Amino acid sequence: MITTRSELADGREIIYFDADPVSRTAVDTRDLPRTTTHSQTRFDPLLGEWVVMASHRQTRTFLPPADLCPLCPSTPDRATEIPESDYQVAVFENRFPSLAPVHFELPPTVDGSPLTRQREGFGRCEVVCFTSDHNSSFARLDDRRARLVVDVWAQRTAELSELDGVGQVFCFENHGKDIGVTLTHPHGQIYAYPFVSPRVAKISANVDDYRKAHGENLFGDVLTAERESGIRVVAANEEWTAFVPPFARWPYEVQVYPHRRVADIPELDDAQRDAFASLYLDLLRRFARRFDTPMSYIAAWNQGPTPKSGVPRDDWWLHLQLFSMRRAADKLKFLAGSESGMQVFISDTTPEIVAAELRELG
């Protein structure tokens, strides 16, 4: 993988990733002012979780026409976020980040609420463009490009994990209007959180309790049970197994586990990376064929806390969640009273039936 670093007109970093050597010398010709983002994080004392305040994101670009897409390569007539005339994979700092790599002073608590701690919204938010083809998608990539994206996730995770104050690196893709995407060009994002996310913290605590009670790895026992029964397995190869979890919350949800435990994407070896790329493309194409139109989805990498976070990660097992809010051809799963109000999910589908449906699409 060839890495080329450059800078956009407002000082944000852009990095090109290529499978083969390519000259990258284009300059961002736009007249952009330097932007300063002052996100905040506030601690909810009732739930014990951090909330990010990023009101500046209200003005971000929203579903522009294809000829105004900011993620397409630049042309002589129009400069975009990507100065080059073509690219394979490009990563740049988000112009409208939820978190920002700047430090500033804040009072220790919110004005008028002494029980609500607050601190700067330090972190980094990056955009990952999977291809220069505006009309493509991750599912349409070939194996080689998908593998390049895996290497990019690994490189960015490793580098961002080294930043002081970063507790977890989250690589993800929001795909489709039903999910709420604001740009349709094939892309994902990476968040470097200044804390360990509530999901990872809760799972880590349960994994620790299971280790103390049973002397085994909870992730590993879940994976072993699914591989042995095969009831909910959708697809598998020598390195990975994709299955619908028996406790699935979303109408269509698949979790993808490597057979050998690693804590994060950088720890994957070449064989695991190759095998994931092919299996993941297979899964995305099944999602695309399930109904008359492709399903919108969220793909979320569950990586362990960073080594600098102070949270144990020896038992963490990297896995990917792939899920959709589509519960039928013309119906969406809305997070209404029970889900939004009490965080109690009520499933509209049965994991065993969903797994059988997705298997048949192979």
* Candidates 38, 187, 214, 319; catalytic one: 187
**Contact (Cβ atoms closer than 8 angstroms) between residue 283 and residue 235:** yes
List the one residue out of 298, 39, 99 whose CA is nearest residue 188.
298
Is 259 designated active site? no
> What's the rounded Cα separation, in Å, for the pair 275 and 253?
20
In angstroms, the CA 313 to CA 308 distance is 11
Tokens of 117: 């701690």
DSSP 228-244: HH-TTEEEE-SSEEEE-
Planar angle of CA 99, 173, 293, nearest 5 degrees: 145
Q: How many C-beta neighbours within 10 Å does residue 351 have?
A: 19
Count the alpha carbons within 13 Å of 147 in the hemisphere toward its beta carbon.
13
Burial class (CB in 10 A: 0-12, 13-18, 19+), 286: buried
Strand ranges (E), the chain: 2-7, 13-18, 40-44, 49-53, 89-93, 109-110, 113-120, 124-129, 168-175, 187-193, 233-236, 240-243, 252-258, 297-302, 319-324, 326-328, 331-332
Crossing angle of helices 270-289 and 143-161, rounded to 10°? 120
Tell me the CA distances in angstroms from 168 to 8, 111, 165, 203, 275, one per residue in order: 26, 28, 9, 14, 25
Q: Which residues are part of the catalytic machinery?
A: 187
